[in-house]
Structure 1
Amino acid sequence: MAMDKGWKEVAKDGSYIVRTCGWSPPGDHPVGCGMKLTIKDGKLVHVEGDEQHPVTQGRLCIRCLDLPEVVHSPERIIHPMKRDPKDRGKDKWEQISLDEAYHLIADRVAEIKQDFGAESIVVYGGTGREASLYYYPLGFATLGTPNVCYPHSGFSCYGPRCSITDYILGAGYPEIDFAGYFEDRYNNPEFELPEWIVCWGKMPLASNGDGMFGHAILDMMKMGTRVIMIDPRITWLGAFEGNMTLQLKPNTDAALGLGLINVIIQEDLYDHDFVENWCFGFDELAERAAEFPPERVEELTWVRADDLKEVARTIGKARPVSFAWGLPVDQNPNGVQAGHTIIALAALTGMIDVPGGLTLGPPHGLFGSWRFSTRFQISDELYAKRIGANDYPAVSNAMSSTHPDLTLDTLETGEPYELHMAWFNSVNILSPTCCAQPERWYKALLKMDFNVIQDLFMTPTAMALADVFLPLSTFAEHDGLVLTHYGRNPAFMGAMNKALQIGECRSDIEHCMELGKIINPDGWPFEDAADFFNQQVGEEFDFDFDGLRDMCLYQPEYTYRKYEKGMLRADGEPGFDTVTGKVELYSTLFDAWGEDPLPYYEQPRWDQISRPEDAEEFPLLMTTGAREYTSFHSEHRQIPMMREIKRYPDIEINPATAAQFGIEDGDWVRVENQLGSAIEKAHLVETIDPRVVHCRHGWWYPEQEGEAPNLYGVFKSNINSLIPHKEIGKLGFGAPFKCVMCKITKVDGLDG
């Protein structure tokens, strides 16, 4: 094969191979897996891993390997479409051109702004997709609205963890040191293999969350690393010989964290040098943690006191030890405090920004300034109107967004002002993925004057609500950047290199830019997407996007112990970029916002203890959200190979519990509580606590009737129907997606 460019090889028969790093769509976290895409006669015919990628090293998940089925699916929408708003919920779409779609949208935006104000428009963004980088500019720089909303109750995904890190550490997101910054990886002389890794509510093998390549944990286990899993379920990693599991009651993480801190302090297992020089509020934290002796923690969390002490001693003595904290910390009204304890454990053990501990991203990340600086394209007066700005500043300021729960209130009540337009940017808002009480959102959004969606397929949200459909390209069909942790802790920056064109599909940034040139041309001084990426990359590095293409991947230099070298603070002084210049075990910002500055434990609000009057009727606890290898949230349900592997959602039940309710493996089961119900298939597992059931999220049925009221069966297995609205933490973060009381009943089928 002759080399056309460093990223493209062309064969004599005209076929070619493109080296690229994957992100989305279709959905995936920004792991940036290296792959080679073979294109023949205008079609993607083969996908294989790129062995030259220093992190993924040729390994790919089944979703990447099955990319051709997505790209060439007959179900894909590859041209823009429109329909009359009176036909929402009906399959009455009319194909139109991109130019017509953009001008139709621009005209309606102008009318709505003139009649109701720019604040009457809301952009709703999804989770994990590449669009995470672009739905903020879509709101601020293209549509000119201050209201950008991630509609997950309590902003309960990643945002809480990033915000807590900002408040407590003043730095980018902390991640397991898996040698991702180094080309020679584990052989780099600066790297030190973790002795133990604590995976707190995180199963990296399935989730690969936010850029953490989960199989790196297996690499390190082969070299001797051992893993402590903290989870209501016993996972494969937790059951692996030599590893340990603390199987806790859902949403009791803060109590467990305080218990571990107490043992480490009481037994003098903490790093005195790091605590004395780099931590603020140690004495106050010690006093708070003393309220959580192991015996009390056992009562609260179901974790045996002896097991808690063993894990605390392991964490206190092991060097180095690293920590991964996942979605359950966010999906908890007490989650800010739980996250505070995890950072405190890393600080007490001196494992922040050291080899084999936690890596810290630069304070402002890579490629981060442009995305949020587009906020300055709207006036301060307009920006101050975003929903929830004054109610929950810890959310609205840190995330530059509306508050999702208050956004639903505004949709329903018209207070403090009416909303008239919704843009769904890579989010299937009605699916059981983000919204608590999805049927309330559905009814409220039907009232909008104008709705736009951009996606790959006809989703329940698109069929139910959209007036204009803009087709999205897969990552095989566009240029782009992959930034692990969205630039907040960028172990590398990868190039997505366009391999082919399908229909009139465009990327998120292309739709954003082309429409922006019509509505707000001064805000989009770029010739096209290639020019945009060349400028963005060229501003921060000594190469542009074309240079990154040839490299395919760039790993920035990493410096450990930046806090000692003045590399975390704007003033160049040693320390952390916080008010006190230290890791704040006692948070000065929490105190200023009227919140307890120390981590504390709050009893789960929807369990049998908090609601004893309902305990007899709803004797079980439902948790949810475990990742599947065959899907990303609500995506991949219409892809034949993925559905062949995972045909239906399952509810995990302990066999003793199933017998109590007359349920056998494979039966259809209704799980319900005071708020709603969902139906899934029973999967009996001995490794789940008899008091707990686990339900799958994100399920809908593309093979079913799409028109309303069925909407592809989106409400049949919608576990978010059981989640309460606005049961959030004091700062506005967290909701009980992982812990609500319920009962289970055998039913005849999916329709109950």
Structure 2
Amino acid sequence: MEFKDDLGKPWRYEDDGLTVTRSCVWSPPGCHPVGCGVKFYADEDGTLVKVEGDENQPVTKGRLCPRCLTLKDYVNHPDRIKYPMKRDPKYRGQADKWERITWEEAFDLIESEWKRITAKYGPTSVAVWAGTGREGGTFMPYAAAIFATPNYCYTQSGYACYLPRMAASAYVLGAVYPEIDFAGGLEGTYDNPEFKVPEVIMLVGKDPLPSNPDGFFGHSVVDLMRRGAKLITIDPRTNWVSTRAAYNLRLRPGTDTALLMAMLNVIINEDLYDHDFVEKWTYGFDQLAERVQAIPPAKAAVICDVPEEDIIAAARMYANAKPASIAWGLATDQKANGQQMAHCVMALMAITGNIDIPGGNIIGGFADSLNEPGFGFSTMTDETKDALLGLHEYPAYCGMLLNAHADLMLKALETEEPYPIKMGLYAGNNLLAGTCAAEPRRWHDAMIKSLEFNIGFDVWMTPSTQSTCDLMLPLTTVAERDGVVFTHYSSLPVTYGIMTPAIKRIGETKSDMELGWELGRRLQPEFWSQYTDFEDFVSKFRLMGKMSLSEAREKVCIQRGHTYRKYEKGLLRGDGQLGFNTPTGRVELWSTMFQRFGDDPLPYYEEPQYSPVSTPGLLDEFPFVLTTGARRYEYFHSEGKQIPYLREIHPEPTFDINPADAEALGIAQNDMCVLRNQFGVCELRANVSPIVKPGVVQADHGWWYPEEDPNEPHLYGVWRSNINSLIPNFHTGKMGFGAPFKCILCSVKKGSLADEMSHEELIAGGYDRPAHLDWKEGRNA
């Protein structure tokens, strides 16, 4: 790997009496691994006084979102957790029962409880509840290695976020993830002579500007538009980029697979595919061509509620563009039919010859990953590894991701089958707040019932920690820690940036990596002895020992370079042979791996489990198709609700409803409404807008109210506006992936929960809204 020196300003310098530290961000302020460049300005006391974008960062070029620009308010907020605290388990949910302790006491408690619980129930009784996290990559592997448990678990049903796409990519392409080529890893980016601007960019279920997902810098779409790229957007909801698109295919939520099969139908039947690539580098083209005859454009038009002529024209536009790229988003993962949608997306890339070419979709090579493979399983026996929850029921999910299956984890908590879960650790996960758990109250009740000891570590006290934890450990923010941010979790050779402490730490906070290092040495000293010190641990775990953290810090941001057409050069396979790292050595349009896991080796369309077509009998009661989780500029999932500037922009949770539907229901802009289905209920304010089609509503997720009562059952009002209460568990696809977060039915009614429930029911359910509190005041006012 070639490390290119940064050519901008030094990583730290003085400016008008302030110390400026060039760094990059992960979370907080919340983001996926783009590694946006920042400049932290600190005064002589080591206090953060200003944040600016770093114009020297080669990809983001000084551009920042509101979350970064308000980081000063985040870092210096009085509600931050500053010291370790413990609480007797019998007082869970009571905010006044926390007592401050030392770090030594906290580590002693963790060690004693871990030894007690694993001696009684075995190592599998410990679980790590993983979210996006606070580090520059997932915390799960080293948390699992610390506790010698296989059960680290992202708690969203069907792992319905990013990893289903990664798994499908691994099985179809033999590469972790094909991403739009936005020249991020190339010196000079768009001006690099190797790069070509894509003639067409197709955005499938992806709103890149507010989401900046998984390492892809969303604003690069705008950069490429300015350089001539044209857009096709496929999304139920109109957004900024779709208003600039040549074709905006506003489909019914959950029907993406049918639309993409129809596009494949057009491209194949009209002979618009790349014959040379198909013949040399794909497997199963004839079978795919036969399968897509089942969904011609006319049929897809009816299924998807999209004009047939638009489907045909968009397919031709994509196929005829040389090069073209596809950016595919979270909508792929949030349906039971998502693996088939992913298969179609990769088939489109492959048959048009747009894989790993300049301006197409790039993939990582065999040597590109910076992760230590199998690290999380390094401290456990083969018997313990084999007990990973879901490994035998869903090998495609658990065997590839080395994660416990989320739905089966919930089952184990509720039933103690196949074994009990008695100790847990929140790793950057506020699962109760409508972020990464379906039916969150069900998770809450199961954890309270099952767990004898639960640990939280975070910057804030969250509803999840307040309700279910016995130990709270305070974390640093991105401005106070060392770390590495690698785009796409290192699977693509784009960039990685270095997080560098810029200010004096608040209280006695530590970073996740420091917690991992210190706990690891205590609980697994033999394994952790391979690292000489903390910096050595970070260097080897995050940089694969290719350079020290100190060396990397001076470079600030490192562009990793990119070699195109790696399949022609033997760079995708461990054996050095040409082709793709699949059983056939080709892109598998007919997937041998899907067949091995008991699914159809070819794409197929299935209706969402609850839809106007599959469950028409529910329409009288639940007439709207509900889609959730559209990203916002102000917040990252549940994070940032304490920050006044962000709350001023978007003070309360909303849902989008078409003006025709709103008029029929007597709903005006900003009216409080109740959304309900057979799984749950919540209240949100109406945003009356044509950005959604008639019959469709889109709801905010990740809401809680930090200014409200922290105690059970209220828990900062976390249940009142929790859209995930309407999403069920155990509705995954055949291989265990996906859940209907973006395609389910609901009703909408003007009014509030207080109109429908007695005061006693509201109090018991935690739905009441304290009238005397206001978000502008905050709990420390």
TM-score w.r.t. the length of structure 2 is: 0.93
Secondary structure in structure 1 of the residue aligned to 2:291: helix
| Aligned partners of 1:680 and 1:750 also within 8 Å | no
Alignment map for 1:415-434 (pairs within 5 Å):
415-434=417-436
Residue of structure 2 aligned with 1:236, choices 229, 235, 240: 240
Question: Once the 2 structures are TM-superposed, how far is the Cα of residue 540 of structure 1 from its aligned partner?
Answer: 4.9
In the alignment, does 2:109 pair up with 1:99? Answer: no
Distance across 2 between alignment mates of 1:121 and 1:560: 43
> Taking structure 1 as reference, are residues 606 and 749 closer, same or farther at Cα in structure 2, changes over 3 Å only?
closer
Alignment map for 1:59-208 (pairs within 5 Å):
59-91=63-95, 92-127=97-132, 129-130=134-135, 132-139=137-144, 141-208=145-212
Q: 2:312 maps to what in 1?
A: 309
Secondary structure in structure 2 of the residue aligned to 1:322: strand
Q: 2:33 maps to what in 1?
A: 30
Distance across 2 between alignment mates of 1:718 and 1:360: 37
Distance across 2 between alignment mates of 1:417 and 1:537: 33
Q: 1:460 maps to what in 2?
A: 463
Question: Once the 2 structures are TM-superposed, how far is the Cα of residue 422 of structure 1 from its aligned partner?
Answer: 1.1
In the alignment, does 2:352 pair up with 1:344? Answer: no
- Root mean square deviation, CA, Å: 1.4
| Aligned partners of 2:466 and 2:710 also within 8 Å | yes
Alignment map for 1:192-591 (pairs within 5 Å):
192-240=196-244, 243-363=246-366, 365-369=368-372, 372-447=374-449, 448-500=451-503, 501-525=505-529, 526-536=531-541, 539-541=544-546, 543-591=547-595
Distance across 2 between alignment mates of 1:427 and 1:712: 16
- Please tell me the residue identity of whatever aligns with 2:131: G
Deviations 1:218-253 (A, max 9, x none): 11111111111100011111112x532100011111
Distance across 2 between alignment mates of 1:493 and 1:159: 20
Question: Once the 2 structures are TM-superposed, how far is the Cα of residue 317 of structure 1 from its aligned partner?
Answer: 0.6
Question: Once the 2 structures are TM-superposed, how far is the Cα of residue 636 of structure 1 from its aligned partner?
Answer: 0.3
Distance across 1 between alignment mates of 2:544 and 2:738: 36
Deviations 1:671-691 (A, max 9, x none): 111111111000011131111
| Aligned partners of 1:131 and 1:426 also within 8 Å | no
Structure 2 runs not aligned, ≥5 long:
1-8, 757-781
Secondary structure in structure 1 of the residue aligned to 2:142: helix
> Taking structure 1 as reference, are residues 453 and 650 closer, same or farther at Cα in structure 2, changes over 3 Å only?
same
Distance across 1 between alignment mates of 2:157 and 2:493: 27
Question: Once the 2 structures are TM-superposed, how far is the Cα of residue 488 of structure 1 from its aligned partner?
Answer: 1.0
Q: 2:773 maps to what in 1?
A: none
Distance across 1 between alignment mates of 2:429 and 2:297: 43
| Aligned partners of 1:197 and 1:321 also within 8 Å | yes
Question: Once the 2 structures are TM-superposed, how far is the Cα of residue 130 of structure 1 from its aligned partner?
Answer: 2.4
Question: Once the 2 structures are TM-superposed, how far is the Cα of residue 544 of structure 1 from its aligned partner?
Answer: 2.1
> Taking structure 1 as reference, are residues 200 and 12 closer, same or farther at Cα in structure 2, changes over 3 Å only?
closer
Distance across 2 between alignment mates of 1:628 and 1:352: 31
Q: 1:717 maps to what in 2?
A: 721
| Aligned partners of 2:137 and 2:486 also within 8 Å | no
| Aligned partners of 2:40 and 2:51 also within 8 Å | yes
Distance across 2 between alignment mates of 1:131 and 1:89: 31
Question: Once the 2 structures are TM-superposed, how far is the Cα of residue 374 of structure 1 from its aligned partner?
Answer: 3.3
Runs of 4+ with >3 A deviation: 10-13, 534-540, 748-752
Question: Once the 2 structures are TM-superposed, how far is the Cα of residue 729 of structure 1 from its aligned partner?
Answer: 0.1
Q: 1:18 maps to what in 2?
A: 21
Secondary structure in structure 2 of the residue aligned to 1:262: helix
Deviations 1:647-691 (A, max 9, x none): 011110001101111111110011111111111000011131111
Deviations 1:277-332 (A, max 9, x none): 00000000000001111111111111111110000110111111100110010001
Distance across 2 between alignment mates of 1:249 and 1:645: 29
Deviations 1:99-122 (A, max 9, x none): 110111111101001111110010
Question: Once the 2 structures are TM-superposed, how far is the Cα of residue 11 of structure 1 from its aligned partner?
Answer: 6.0
Deviations 1:571-601 (A, max 9, x none): 1111000000000000001111111000100
Secondary structure in structure 2 of the residue aligned to 1:133: coil
Residue of structure 1 aligned with 2:47, choices 43, 46, 50: 43
Question: Once the 2 structures are TM-superposed, how far is the Cα of residue 424 of structure 1 from its aligned partner?
Answer: 0.7
Secondary structure in structure 1 of the residue aligned to 2:716: helix
- Please tell me the residue identity of whatever aligns with 2:514: E
| Aligned partners of 1:165 and 1:173 also within 8 Å | yes
| Aligned partners of 1:128 and 1:210 also within 8 Å | no
Question: Once the 2 structures are TM-superposed, how far is the Cα of residue 748 of structure 1 from its aligned partner?
Answer: 4.3
Structure 1 runs not aligned, ≥5 long:
none
Which has the higher mean CA deviation after the structures are superposed, 454-463 or 523-532? 523-532
Question: Once the 2 structures are TM-superposed, how far is the Cα of residue 537 of structure 1 from its aligned partner?
Answer: 6.0
Question: Once the 2 structures are TM-superposed, how far is the Cα of residue 172 of structure 1 from its aligned partner?
Answer: 2.7
| Aligned partners of 1:208 and 1:214 also within 8 Å | yes
| Aligned partners of 2:205 and 2:329 also within 8 Å | yes
**Identity of matched residues, %:** 47
Deviations 1:543-582 (A, max 9, x none): 3221111111111121100000111011111100000000
Question: Once the 2 structures are TM-superposed, how far is the Cα of residue 133 of structure 1 from its aligned partner?
Answer: 2.4
Secondary structure in structure 2 of the residue aligned to 1:205: helix
| Aligned partners of 1:126 and 1:132 also within 8 Å | no
> Taking structure 1 as reference, are residues 667 and 509 closer, same or farther at Cα in structure 2, changes over 3 Å only?
same
Secondary structure in structure 1 of the residue aligned to 2:747: strand
| Aligned partners of 1:623 and 1:695 also within 8 Å | yes
Q: 2:12 maps to what in 1?
A: 8
In the alignment, does 2:601 pair up with 1:597? Answer: yes
Alignment map for 1:665-684 (pairs within 5 Å):
665-684=669-688
> Taking structure 1 as reference, are residues 294 and 11 closer, same or farther at Cα in structure 2, changes over 3 Å only?
closer
| Aligned partners of 1:207 and 1:627 also within 8 Å | yes
Q: 1:654 maps to what in 2?
A: 658
Distance across 2 between alignment mates of 1:689 and 1:374: 45
Distance across 2 between alignment mates of 1:244 and 1:363: 36
> Taking structure 1 as reference, are residues 538 and 230 closer, same or farther at Cα in structure 2, changes over 3 Å only?
closer
Distance across 1 between alignment mates of 2:730 and 2:651: 33
Distance across 1 between alignment mates of 2:39 and 2:331: 34
- Please tell me the residue identity of whatever aligns with 2:248: T
Distance across 2 between alignment mates of 1:434 and 1:175: 24
Which has the higher mean CA deviation after the structures are superposed, 187-196 or 543-552? 543-552
Which has the higher mean CA deviation after the structures are superposed, 431-440 or 610-619? 610-619
Distance across 2 between alignment mates of 1:25 and 1:520: 29
